[in-house]
């Protein structure tokens, strides 16, 4: 009996330049470039064991057997690894997200980055970061960025380019910023990112405008990141955020990820700025508000968000380091 096993840890990331929409659905290529910050606090740990006695892949997620859909997504990734194995077998995957799954806190990013790292290592393969990122990206575009620590960029994909991978821009020590997460609701979101993106692409009158404008916004963010110019970066990040949400809201049927608490937290961020604190908001495909600020302002921002009506919890995240296979 042969068992090959490996464990890997990956961290979620928050997009500063947002990703929304695919240029190639089959290859899961993004239609727009995105830039992310990998976060220290949002960790997934995954163990993959290739086991020839198994009759099918098995996924355990956060201590429960995963659904058929979740298991099928894992099998797709494992199949791409098995294609490079001499003696492929099914695998048992045990994964834990140390934060809410499917609630807009990018569990798919750290989830598929950790699974890619563990599966490739368990298979005994030595893949480059670019190859690992392309593998993770195929399962979840944001996962391609979570292969790296610090700040990473995923370019827009040209249809057919299966090798598209994220690139590291700066390490976690580049800039002492914080992301303060304000949890705005409990439970999984109603429309998953993949479905929301496809509906936006197919039905939103704002979709083409979003795709056309995103590269210019991303370029502003990349330049401001290099110069560590928080006000310029923050304003462009908010523009990127509101543009993609407008695109989702104007789909048919409309997709509104926000809750009343989301708006309340956005007002808190505005008030902080009016009072002189450089704090900037972003939201992903969910109701939570994530606020970018200088490390020195994080406690003040956290206090203001915690006092905001409806906010359930707050969490301060530092830039996170890369931490993949535990070789
Ligand atoms: P999120 O915003 O949390 O990333 P998505 O709807 O994009 O939400 O993705 C959630 C899906 O990602 C889950 O339903 C599951 O299929 C997959 N996923 C999340 N975490 C893991 C994990 N640790 N291991 C394997 N798959 C995961």
Which of 63, 71, 108, 193 has most ligand 1 atoms within 8 Å of CB, for mutation? 108
322: in domain: no
**Domain at 89, CATH number:** 3.30.230.10
Who contacts 298 (Cβ-Cβ below 8 Å, separation ≥6)? Answer: 178, 180, 316
Tell me how far the alpha carbon of residue 175 lies from the centroid of ligand 1, in angstroms.
28
Of 112, 141, 143, residue with least CA distance to 31: 141
Q: Which of 173, 208, 241 is the last residue of a domain?
A: 173
What's the confidence (pLDDT) of residue 104? 55
Say whether both 169 and 62 belong to one domain: yes
Any ligand 1 atom below 6 A from CB of 115:
yes
Say how many domains are in the chain: 2
Q: Is the peptide bond before 288 cis (omega within 30 degrees of 0)?
A: no
In a domain? residue 165:
yes
In terms of domains, do 9 and 149 share one? yes
pLDDT for 101 equals: 56
Residue 327: its pLDDT value, please? 44
Q: CATH code at 231? A: 3.30.70.890
* Contact predicate 58/92, CB 8 Å: yes
Choose the residue to mutate in 111, 181, 187, 324 for probing ligand 1, maximizing ligand atoms within 8 Å of C-beta.
111
- Cα–ligand 1 centroid distance for 100 (angstroms): 10
Q: Identify the bridge partners of residue 280 per DSSP, sorted by sequence position.
A: 292
Q: What is the domain range of residue 312?
A: 177-317
SS3 176: coil
Digitized pLDDT (tens) for each residue of the chain, 327 residues in all: 567 999 999 999 999 999 999 999 999 999 999 999 999 978 999 999 999 999 999 999 999 999 999 999 999 999 999 999 999 999 999 999 987 554 456 789 999 999 999 999 999 999 999 999 999 999 999 999 999 999 999 999 999 999 999 999 999 999 999 999 999 988 777 898 899 999 999 999 999 999 999 999 999 999 999 999 999 999 999 999 999 999 999 999 999 999 999 999 999 999 999 999 999 999 999 999 999 999 999 999 999 999 999 999 999 999 999 876 654
* Rounded CA separation 259/264 (Å): 9
| Of 173, 191, 211, the domain-final residue | 173
Quick check: is 214 in a domain? yes
Q: Report whether residue 101 contacts ligand 1, using a CB cutoff of 6 Å.
A: yes
Q: Are 101 and 206 in a shared domain?
A: no
Which of 173, 197, 225 is the C-terminal boundary of a domain? 173
Distances in Å between the Cα of 67 and the Cα atoms of 50, 102, 183, 205 are 20, 13, 25, 34
Say whether both 199 and 147 belong to one domain: no
Coil vs helix vs strand at 144: helix
- 198 and 118 in a common domain: no
pTM (whole model) above 0.85: yes
CA of 101 to the centre of ligand 1 (A): 6
Query: In a mutational test of the pocket of ligand 1, which residue from 81, 107, 146 has the highest number of ligand atoms less than 8 Å from its CB?
Result: 107
- Which ligand 1 atom is at minimum distance from the Cα of 100? 3
Q: Which of 76, 99, 102 to mutate to test the pocket of ligand 1 (most atoms within 8 A of CB)?
A: 102
Inside any domain, residue 24: yes
Residue nearest atom 6 in ligand 1 by C-alpha distance: 192
pLDDT recorded at residue 268: 98
- Which DSSP string do the residues of 234-294 spell out, in sequence order? HHHHHHHHHHHHHHHHTSSS------HHHHHHHHHHHHHHHTT--EEEE--SSS-EEEEEE
Based on the domain organization, do 187 and 277 belong to the same domain?
Answer: yes
Taking each continuous run of H as one helix and of E as one strand, the counts in the chain are: 9, 13
| CA nearest ligand 1 atom 26, residue | 111
In DSSP terms, 59 is beta-bridged to 93
How high is the pLDDT of residue 106? 74
What's the number of CA atoms in the CB half-sphere (13 Å) around residue 240?
32
Residue 230 lies inside a defined structural domain of this protein = yes
Q: Is 108 near ligand 1, meaning CB less than 6 Å away?
A: yes
* Ligand 1 centre distance from Cα of residue 232 (Å): 32
CA–CA separation, 98 vs 151, rounded Å?
21
C-beta 61 within 6 A of ligand 1? yes
Mark out the alpha helices in 53-192 (DSSP H runs).
68-82, 107-122, 129-139, 141-145
One DSSP character per residue, 290-317 reads EEEEEGGGHHHHHHHHHTSTT--EEEEE
Length of the chain: 327
Instruction: Give the H/E segment covering residue 20.
Output: none
Closest ligand 1 atom number to CA of residue 142: 4
Residues 116 and 221 in one domain: no
CA distance readout (Å), 320 to 38, 149, 174, 263? 5, 6, 11, 28
């Amino acid at each position: 009996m042969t068992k090959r096993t490996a464990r890997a840890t990956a961290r979620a990331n928050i997009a500063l330049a947002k990703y929304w929409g695919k240029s190639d659905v089959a290859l899961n290529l993004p239609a727009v470039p995105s830039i992310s910050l990998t976060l220290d606090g949002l960790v997934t740990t995954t163990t993959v064991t290739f086991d020839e006695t198994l009759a099918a892949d098995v996924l355990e997620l956060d201590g429960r057997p995963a659904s058929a859909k979740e298991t099928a997504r894992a099998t797709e990734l494992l199949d791409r690894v098995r294609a490079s194995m001499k003696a492929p077998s099914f695998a048992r995957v045990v994964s834990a997200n140390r934060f809410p799954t499917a609630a807009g806190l990018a569990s798919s990013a750290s989830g598929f980055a950790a699974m890619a790292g563990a599966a490739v290592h368990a298979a005994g393969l030595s893949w480059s970061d670019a190859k690992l990122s392309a593998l993770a990206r195929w399962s979840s575009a944001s996962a391609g960025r979570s292969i790296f620590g610090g700040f990473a960029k995923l370019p827009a994909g040209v249809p057919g380019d299966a090798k598209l991978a994220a690139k590291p821009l700066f390490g976690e020590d580049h800039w002492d910023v914080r992301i303060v997460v304000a949890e705005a609701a409990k439970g999984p979101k109603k429309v998953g990112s993949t479905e929301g993106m496809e509906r936006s692409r197919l039905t939103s009158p704002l979709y083409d405008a979003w795709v056309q404008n995103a590269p210019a916004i991303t370029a502003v963010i990349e330049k401001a990141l290099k110069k560590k110019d928080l006000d310029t970066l923050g304003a462009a990040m908010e523009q990127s955020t509101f543009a993609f949400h407008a695109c989702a809201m104007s789909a048919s049927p409309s997709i509104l990820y926000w809750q009343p608490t989301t708006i309340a937290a956005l007002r808190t961020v505005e008030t902080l700025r009016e009072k002189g604190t450089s704090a900037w908001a972003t939201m992903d495909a969910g109701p939570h508000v994530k606020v970018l600020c200088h490390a020195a302002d994080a406690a003040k921002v956290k206090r203001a968000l915690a006092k905001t009506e409806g906010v359930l919890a707050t969490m301060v995240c530092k830039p996170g380091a890369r931490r993949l296979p535990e070789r």
